[in-house]
Amino acid sequence: MAASGDKVSVIICAYSDDRREQLHRAIASVLAQRSKPTEVIVVIDHNTPLWLDVFAAYPRLTVIVNEGARGLSGARNTGLRRASGDILAFLDDDAIADPYWLARMLPHYDNPSVIGVGGRVLPLWQVDRPRWFPEEFQWVVGCSYRGQPDRIEPVRNPIGCNMSFRRSVFDLTGGFREGIGRTAADAAGCEETELCIRATQAMPGALILYDPQMSVHHQVTAERAGWRYFRKRCLAEGRSKTQVVKAVGAQDGLASEHRYVMRVLPAGILRALGDSVLKLDPWALARAGGIVFGLGYTVWGYFGARLNRAWRQA
């Protein structure tokens, strides 16, 4: 129970047969919380065999099917409509929550200005971490990245793998915008970004906090550790940002990205160049190149999507 006495619903969305074992680990981590949730809701996204398996394995949990559009946004909206909690916490099906995840999260809601809380997402590599993979781009695999706060601070939006909101956020905004979130066929995202911007635009003075001690581990498969996925995810992120900008405007939609591009990435390149000289690290130049190419692919995805939309409209 939250310190304020609020009820807490944890929502986990899943779609893939290949991630059944990971889903069971995610559920187990929630059931092992030191601060117990009021309910755990598992939403299965258009996969009847998976729903039957999870429904049979967890008779005391609420296991339901996605009643909305296929994809993460529709599944999350289905979960929040079923939830009875005052605080709704979201955990990915391939994440493992720290035992004190909820205990660390909930006291922040004693501040009435706080409408959302997110935390650190640590990569749990299933293979050796690629030495060329820059920490500045760990968002590619759904994890916290260099440039995020190292203490409790307000942020524009948390990472979707580890986030929570007051129910009033969804009452006001109507939920996650479908058509932006990830599907099995597309690595796009940003549905939580768009939601958070709409919420803070509608609620002046509202705060969304990032607490690095509120942590989960996110499992990173061998496929996601490769260059092909890196490129695909960067392109998809750029495309997603065009939808966010269309929905909420460029000023709010790209404010955090401006700081990231102008400060975090140049610092990362300089750090890598320094490591190549001072530490004689042969992979440092590859990490610098990863930053440059990652930015290039993301920008390419963004402007390519804008040009494609303009062409269709013309």
**Is residue 127 scored above 70 in pLDDT?**
yes
Q: State the Cα–Cα distance between residues 118 and 165, nearest whole angstrom.
A: 9
Gyration radius of the chain's alpha carbons:
19
Q: Of how many residues is the chain composed?
A: 314
- pLDDT, residue 187, reads 58
- pLDDT, residue 251, reads 87
* C-alpha dist (Å) from residue 11 to 38, 141, 165, 186: 11, 20, 11, 22
- Which residues on neighbouring strands pair with residue 63, listed in sequence order? 42
Residue 221, judged by CB atoms within 10 A of its CB (0-12, 13-18, 19+), counts as: middle
**Is residue 37 scored above 70 in pLDDT?**
yes
Fill in the amino acid letter for 295: L
- pLDDT, residue 292, reads 98
Q: Dump pLDDT digits (tens) for 70-114.
A: 999 999 999 999 999 999 999 999 999 999 999 999 999 999 999
Q: Dump pLDDT digits (tens) for 38-76.
A: 999 999 999 999 999 999 999 999 999 999 999 999 999
Q: DSSP secondary-structure letter at 70?
A: S
Q: Dump pLDDT digits (tens) for 264-273.
A: 999 999 999 9
Fill in the amino acid letter for 312: R
Q: Dump pLDDT digits (tens) for 225-275.
A: 999 999 999 999 999 999 999 888 888 889 899 999 999 999 999 999 999
pLDDT band (50, 70, 90) for residue 2 = very low
Q: State the Cα–Cα distance between residues 202 and 216, nearest whole angstrom.
A: 29
Region for 46 from its dihedrals, namely left if φ exceeds 0, alpha if ψ lies in -120 to 50, beta otherwise: left
The helix or strand, by DSSP H or E, that contains position 26, with its residue range, turns out to be helix 20-31
* 75 neighbors 16 (Cβ within 8 angstroms): no
Region for 163 from its dihedrals, namely left if φ exceeds 0, alpha if ψ lies in -120 to 50, beta otherwise: beta
Secondary structure of residue 102 in the 3-state scheme: helix
**Is residue 4 scored above 70 in pLDDT?**
no
